[in-house]
């Protein structure tokens, strides 16, 4: 639909699809014999063996619409920038968001760089994200905004895009609600695709352990007083706020993961009340304005994708860090996740939750 809307506006469009999943025969980074990809796809996702069919589907769609189509091989770049980062963070007991890294470094980075290097000339880069970009004359800079359909807004995943990236981006779907896009698609003969089940998964299975080649080991599950309640299967299988899969019965009330101590290979659990906090520290922050040390901002923040926006006050510190105080306590703030800050529908910036 992004392609069709652009063509309707008079743009000359071509399609590009990223290839990120390894081909066992030609890719020396992976080997058929190890446990790396011994999983059966149980759902749709960005990363997995179903990619081969997804690339063919994209090519067929491009032919049907009548546009050229290119496949850009980014397997090595994806492994280095996304997979290695994801694994490192999880092994340290954090909860990373691979989509944030993939968008800023791969989809809006290497994909364009490699396309240009292969001789493909273009002026703008368009995607199907539900987000918006505009130029603010007063600020003299490009501004990323939420999509019109807040229930499908994807600006959270794009907060790390730079001015150089934003100035050449078009989001054709950003001014529409998803229901409107689906209605348009059905009207012009794409009913099957419009009714296709949506997927927002990272990999094509429920077990992230598939990616770690047994680099994790079992350890103790403790309460806050360090009483051993059970055993965990490896820190990579747990995240702050998790309740299911702890296998620690016989308690008076449900227990949740409170924190993960990867160095000691321990999972600390406790009652829900211990998961609420009024403040957090954010690192690796980026801002879409000229930020100054000591600057204070009142705004809204999302501490994970899908979380409701929460009122807060941000104090910018040295070294790209920021202290955040919430108007109301927040539940299950997970180190490693992205915190994205908004002023109404405008993305002010964001960073990685440190503690």
So which residues are the catalytic ones? 102, 205
5 and 172 Cβ atoms separated by less than 8 Å: yes
d(CA 34, CA 47): 18
d(CA 125, CA 21): 23
**Strand-pair category, 228-232 with 219-223:** antiparallel
For 286, residues 6+ apart whose C-beta sits below 8 A from its C-beta are: 159, 160, 320, 349, 350, 351
For residue 214, with 0-12 CB atoms within 10 Å meaning exposed, 13-18 middle and 19 or more buried, which class applies? exposed
Cα separations (Å) of 262 from 75, 139, 216, 309? Answer: 29, 43, 10, 30
d(CA 77, CA 111): 10
DSSP state letters, 194-227: HTSPP---SBSSS-GGGGTTT----EEEEETT--
- HEC string of 296-312 equals EEEEEEECCCCCCCEEE
d(CA 148, CA 253): 41
Q: Indicate the Cα dihedral angle 41, 43, 46, 50, nearest 10°.
A: 40
């Amino acid at each position: 639909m992004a392609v069709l809307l652009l063509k309707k506006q008079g743009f000359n469009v071509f399609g590009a699809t990223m290839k990120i999943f390894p081909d066992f025969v030609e890719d020396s980074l992976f080997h058929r014999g190890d446990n790396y990809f011994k999983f059966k796809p149980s759902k749709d996702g960005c990363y997995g063996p179903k990619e081969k069919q997804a690339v063919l589907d994209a090519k067929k769609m491009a032919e049907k619409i009548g546009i050229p189509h290119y496949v850009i091989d980014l397997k090595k770049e994806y492994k280095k920038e996304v997979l290695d980062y994801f694994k490192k963070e999880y092994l340290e007991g954090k909860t990373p968001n691979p989509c944030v890294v993939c968008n800023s470094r791969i989809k809006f980075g290497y994909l364009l760089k490699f396309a240009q290097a292969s001789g493909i000339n273009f002026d703008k880069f368009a995607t199907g994200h539900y987000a918006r970009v505009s130029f603010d004359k007063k600020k003299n800079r490009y501004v990323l905004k939420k999509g019109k359909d807040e229930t499908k807004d994807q600006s959270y995943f794009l907060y790390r895009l730079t001015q150089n990236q934003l100035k050449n981006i078009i989001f054709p779907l950003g001014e529409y609600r998803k229901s409107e896009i689906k209605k348009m698609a059905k009207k012009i003969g794409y009913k099957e695709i419009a009714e296709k089940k949506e997927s927002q998964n990272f990999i094509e299975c429920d077990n992230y352990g598939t990616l770690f080649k047994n680099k994790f080991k079992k350890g103790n599950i403790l309460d806050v007083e360090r009483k051993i309640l059970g055993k965990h299967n490896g820190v990579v299988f747990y995240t702050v706020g998790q309740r299911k899969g702890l296998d620690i019965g016989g308690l008076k009330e449900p227990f949740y993961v409170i924190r993960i101590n990867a160095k000691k290979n321990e999972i600390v659990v406790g009652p829900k009340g211990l998961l609420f906090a009024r403040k957090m520290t954010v690192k690796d922050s980026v801002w879409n304005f000229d930020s100054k040390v000591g600057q204070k901002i009142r705004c809204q923040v999302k501490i994970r994708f899908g979380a409701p926006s929460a009122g807060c006050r941000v104090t910018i510190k040295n070294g790209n860090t920021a202290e955040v105080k919430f108007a109301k306590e927040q539940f299950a703030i997970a180190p490693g996740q992205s915190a994205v800050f908004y002023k109404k529908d405008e993305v002010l910036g964001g960073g990685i939750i440190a503690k």
